[in-house]
Structure 1
């Protein structure tokens, strides 16, 4: 129970802090930052909406709302998939890329200061193994 409670409180506090830093310095939500990051990592900075939802561990509906908001802000645009009329791509715009480049150091500094630098090499390796196992288990359970 102690481990569970420490995880819940610590992860919520960490997420809140990372979100606050991005919001205060770049007017960007942590969840929106994650979408911009995922798009930036793809060829042509685009991804199918369904894949994007899977990558950020969110529902298709929620990601659709986020992308609509990001599209209104000029950070992302949507287009139909030419090979599948039902598919939709999200594309990172130049404005989205520029915001991501400005926000990334803030986010990385926060992750380092509030998590990574608090752990030694063995603890970082253990954390990686634990959450890869949890993620794989939950993805397999949802397949």
Structure 2
């Protein structure tokens, strides 16, 4: 049987769940109101804008977004219809495909970014001091690395 959480850990867990859901919802609402983009749209545009040649293999993009291949295919298809990204065959490997940022996608990102940054600052960052920022960075970097490693290990085990 799994041991239950003590009261401090339960309070931390509930505070995290409720606040993270409220924060995600608020950031998404602000992003949609300011730019018409979903948070997933915005994240795809950011990742592609930072990638060499503003393109990423679909598998790499899915991994970075923590999306299933089918969810990414749907996401890229909807964004492609809006002219924000294109899907192209991979130059190095014709079997694979890449998501590529379009000029319209880059312009959309540049227009949305200042509003999104203002929302992130207002709803999260401006309320935290330097020690809290450092603590959050440590905690979520460690957690992200652990979860990524566990996922990679389980994917490797399934493939064998």
TM-score (norm 2): 0.87
* Rounded Cα–Cα distance in structure 2 between residues aligned with 1:41 and 1:82: 19
Gaps of at least 5 residues in structure 2 are: 1-9, 153-160
The structure 2 residue matched to 1:18, chosen from 27, 32, 35, is 27
* Rounded Cα–Cα distance in structure 2 between residues aligned with 1:48 and 1:129: 29
Q: Aligned-pair distance for 1:86?
A: 2.2
1:32 aligns with 2:44: no
* Rounded Cα–Cα distance in structure 2 between residues aligned with 1:129 and 1:58: 24
Residue in structure 1 matched with residue 112 of structure 2 by the alignment: 103
Provide the aligned C-alpha RMSD in A: 0.8
Q: Aligned-pair distance for 1:84?
A: 1.6
Gaps of at least 5 residues in structure 1 are: none
1:136 aligns with 2:145: yes
Aligned length, in residue pairs:
143
**Following superposition of structure 1 onto structure 2, how do residues 2-13 of structure 1 map, counting pairs within 5 Å?**
2-13=11-22
TM-score (norm 1): 0.97
Deviations 1:63-121 (A, max 9, x none): 11100000000000010112222211100000000100000011111111111111100
Which structure has the highest strand share of the two? 1
Deviations 1:28-69 (A, max 9, x none): 101110000000001111111111111112212111110000
1:68 aligns with 2:82: no
* The structure with more radius of gyration: 2
Runs of 4+ residues deviating >3 angstroms: none
